[in-house]
């Protein structure tokens, strides 16, 4: 069992979740409310990682954020880090491939908050921020929870884009899924099996806990109607 790789996977999941969830809430809410004609294109853009092979996303990340690209040079001069073959690069890649998991459930959740409740909140004297915290979020949180669970599970198991952008550097970019691949390549089925089973268990527990909370809420709601 490669505990370093497991630790790195957890760190990656935590960073991705911490940075992506606010982006998901803001973007998902905006997509739910906006009247812009560009909405189908924006939705398609955010959903792209669902249909594109991770290698394609990884390839473009390498091209646009490589040290020889203008963006890569800018990032290097500003922050002193390279986004390829490094942990920060993994976080950026992970955020990009997880965009649909963080945005789409949140968007659906905010879409069901009726416009009438916004009007009612304004006429109760609530500021837009109070409306967001006291009306929108309590109603949309199942969507936000779904987004968090999906993002967490998907990040823990992400393989293709991690390999393309980060390679396989122990302690820096070797996550649990890369370590499993590495062990299989090295004809070490026992270690690969242990790690695969562990990842399976963690993913199952994470997703089941999320669904459990949602189910309890739904049961409570049905009881009250």
Chain-centroid distance of CA 109 in Å reads 17
Q: Measured from the CB of residue 21, what is the shortest distance to another protein in angstroms? A: 21
Residue 117 near another protein by CB under 8 A = yes
Nearer to another protein, 216 or 221 (CB): 221
Q: How many CB atoms lie within 10 A of CB 59?
A: 15
Question: 106 near 70, Cβ under 8 Å?
Answer: no
Q: Indicate which single residue of 7, 130, 133, 185 sits in contact with another protein (rule: CB under 8 A).
A: 130
Residue tagged 């905010």 (tokens): 110
**Where does 66-127 have alpha helices with state H?**
70-79, 87-97, 99-111, 115-123
Q: How many CB atoms lie within 10 A of CB 47?
A: 14
Q: Indicate which single residue of 124, 186, 200, 205 sits in contact with another protein (rule: CB under 8 A).
A: 124
Report in angstroms the alpha-carbon separations of 51 from 6, 44, 129, 217. Answer: 27, 10, 35, 32
Q: Measured from the CB of residue 184, what is the shortest distance to another protein in angstroms? A: 48
Residue 123 near another protein by CB under 8 A = yes
Between CA 14 and CA 126 the distance in angstroms is: 33
Residue 134 near another protein by CB under 8 A = yes
By CB under 8 A, what part of segment 205-224 binds another protein?
Answer: 221, 224
Q: How many residues bind another protein (CB under 8 A)?
A: 20
Q: Indicate which single residue of 77, 116, 187, 190 sits in contact with another protein (rule: CB under 8 A).
A: 116
Q: Measured from the CB of residue 209, what is the shortest distance to another protein in angstroms? A: 22
Residue 133 near another protein by CB under 8 A = no
Q: Which of 214, 100, 195, 187 is nearest to 156 (CA)?
A: 195
Region near another protein per CB under 8 A, out of 15-23, 72-80, 88-96, 121-129: 121-129
Contact residues toward another protein (CB under 8 A) are 116-117, 119-128, 130, 134-135, 138-139, 221, 224-225
């Amino acid at each position: 069992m490669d505990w370093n790789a497991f630790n790195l996977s957890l760190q990656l999941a935590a960073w991705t979740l911490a940075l992506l969830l606010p982006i998901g809430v803001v973007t998902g809410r905006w997509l739910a409310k906006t009247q812009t004609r560009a909405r189908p294109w924006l939705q398609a853009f955010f959903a792209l990682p669902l249909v594109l092979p991770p290698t394609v996303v990884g390839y473009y990340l390498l091209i646009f954020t490589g040290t020889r690209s203008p963006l890569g040079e800018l990032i290097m001069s500003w922050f002193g880090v390279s986004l390829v073959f490094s942990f920060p690069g993994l976080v950026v890649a992970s955020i990009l491939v997880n965009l649909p998991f963080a945005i789409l459930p949140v968007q659906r959740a905010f879409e069901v908050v009726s416009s009438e409740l916004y009007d009612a909140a304004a006429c109760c004297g609530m500021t837009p921020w109070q409306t967001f915290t006291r009306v929108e979020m309590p109603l949309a949180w199942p969507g936000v929870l779904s987004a968090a669970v999906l993002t967490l599970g998907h990040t823990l198991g992400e393989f293709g884009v991690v390999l393309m952008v980060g390679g396989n550097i122990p302690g820096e970019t070797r996550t649990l899924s890369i370590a499993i691949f590495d062990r299989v390549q090295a004809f070490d089925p026992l270690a690969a099996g242990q790690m695969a089973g562990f990842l399976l268990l963690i993913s199952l527990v994470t997703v089941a806990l999320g669904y459990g909370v949602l189910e309890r809420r739904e049961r409570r709601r049905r009881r009250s109607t």
